Structure 1
């Protein structure tokens, strides 16, 4: 379905269909709901990750400000010069390292987008480093990465899903004020992001009966773990409470994906409206009857593949 015609700064593509395979998967997941999210024991600091084998891509690791960065690019000799850099923070309730789906998605984007590298940022996790402890280091690595990309002449997109979508929004907004002299990213992409850690939106309860993965208990637990002693209305935790005018002033586009059967979806729609209210430009995919971070299911679901195609189309124009 084509984007809705609009004079708004936000361009929305709204889809409503659901495949039989998606219906069956969601029903099966609902039977296990509440048992799907298992919080692992993790090391302190930036975790050293073990990338899976990626057929056409290679992974190189570097360390910036004591944070491990994993750069996914096409294998030599076809590796092009990087002109577009995607810095990606994986979702996982601020408590889980990237999963196989994140690596595979990164590799696919590198193959589908010309002159692009996909860099997974292994951020400290909430078990040992909740937001009040992690924030100075996150700002430091953000600043350094943006300086490196500016020197290299790269276009930059900060992207993430779920809690990672929360982080790229909060980091970008805070960094634009903290480092006004540093070049702003060209865009932010938030896939089914966590927008309001208060979890006070009454529409969340409406979605609850259809949600196949997340539970009210899980999203409350993850918010509490990440927030630490900070008030959950702090804009470094909940971008819905942030001043978004700097995004417009700096020309940072905000792209997003929301799903109708996702507990985080209602807040995503509110954030999209707030972006529109202050004139922030961006493109958003709103897909009814889809589950949390459905574009990451592109390897086996039609809707996931369509969601990834939409992301490729949007990022190709950055």
Structure 2
């Protein structure tokens, strides 16, 4: 196993030039260059099984990611898999016309005892990825139910947000910007520690929504109170710039087993609707320095996972660099030669996916 921890992000040059055979040495050198606010775990190893998987699925990447369904308008009501119900308790509810699925562990339920300090509960609001067009998949349910089963004193709330093309960003984002303060207020009233989390397109929402709440409050001096924010944000394989113009994307495409440039461009164009691609409500990488400075001042921590063979990673690394420049604290796992949101594949017995999932669990437990 090869592992390096550092508090410095990978260089911007690597983020804009893509991964190559020297990426591990280059990024390790950059990581040691200067201390910063992000604690980076940098991995370079890849198992034979993962290599074989990448080789086998790469020719079928476009078919694997092909989106066939077109859901009706509104929040999709999800079918709860029996496997998820076996792992954890799952309760469906609806807030502001959006379905939410609250998942909690079935074991080690905390019982208050006289004279013993009350354990503060955690609340994770999770947005599943899927190109803003697909609801939570079997892999998502396996992931969130596994997290829930192994996180005592925690409720993981899976948010089934409205999807494109019937509900593109100009329709959905305003609804979510009304929903999020409602959820954060409920958590604050319950004295919960709140975390926003998501993968891929869902990570886009987990990041863009609180940043937009903060940006809007800064832009309006008449705002009576600062917006409620989560204490932590966790993004896995985040999609952060819908322009899809990073020159590293086409260079990295030949290594990515799943995603293609044409696919991520098409899905982002459908999602953003008539909004420009550089609108920060859908491209959070482009948010102003003053917003990130305000996020740092509020003490919000931001954690992430990126894989070296994911064409969304170059923009993800640019995001990490901006976070560090703003002094935002957090933890980050960057694993060379790994595919898009690789921790979600843990149930298939892949070592890197299991260890990536365990890294996520460790971060959440430490909050």
User: How does the TM-score come out when normalised to structure 2?
Assistant: 0.83
- Measure how far apart 1:111 and its partner are: 2.2
Q: Take 2:88 and 2:120, find their aligned partners in 1: how far apart are those partners? A: 14
| Gaps in structure 1 of 5+ consecutive residues | none
Out of 77, 102, 106, the residue aligned to residue 71 of structure 1 is 102
Matched, 1:89 2:158: no
Out of 226, 230, 234, the residue aligned to residue 271 of structure 2 is 226
**Counterpart residue number, 2:26:** none
Q: CA-to-partner distance for each residue in 1:228-252, whole Å, 9 max, x for gaps? A: 1111111111111113122101111
Q: Take 1:126 and 1:283, find their aligned partners in 2: how far apart are those partners? A: 32
Out of 183, 186, 189, the residue aligned to residue 151 of structure 1 is 189
Q: Take 1:173 and 1:311, find their aligned partners in 2: how far apart are those partners? A: 22
What secondary structure does 2:155 align onto?
strand
Matched, 1:57 2:88: yes
| Gaps in structure 2 of 5+ consecutive residues | 9-34, 112-118, 218-224
Structure 1 runs of 4+ aligned residues shifted over 3 Å read 75-82, 177-182
5 Å matches for 1:256-295?
A: 256-295=304-343
**Counterpart residue number, 1:194:** 239
**Counterpart residue number, 1:19:** 47
Q: Take 2:141 and 2:7, find their aligned partners in 1: how far apart are those partners? A: 35
| Alignment length (residue pairs) | 318
The higher radius of gyration belongs to: 2
User: 2:107–2:149: 8 Å Cα contact kept in structure 1?
Assistant: no
- Measure how far apart 1:2 and its partner are: 4.6
What secondary structure does 2:195 align onto?
strand
Out of 286, 290, 299, the residue aligned to residue 347 of structure 2 is 299
User: How does the TM-score come out when normalised to structure 1?
Assistant: 0.96
**Counterpart residue number, 2:297:** 249
**Counterpart residue number, 2:31:** none
Q: Take 2:107 and 2:359, find their aligned partners in 1: how far apart are those partners? A: 28
Q: Take 1:67 and 1:229, find their aligned partners in 2: how far apart are those partners? A: 23
What secondary structure does 2:42 align onto?
strand
- Measure how far apart 1:37 and its partner are: 1.6
What secondary structure does 1:86 align onto?
strand
User: 1:73–1:79: 8 Å Cα contact kept in structure 2?
Assistant: no
Q: CA-to-partner distance for each residue in 1:116-155, whole Å, 9 max, x for gaps? A: 1111000000111111111210101101000010011110
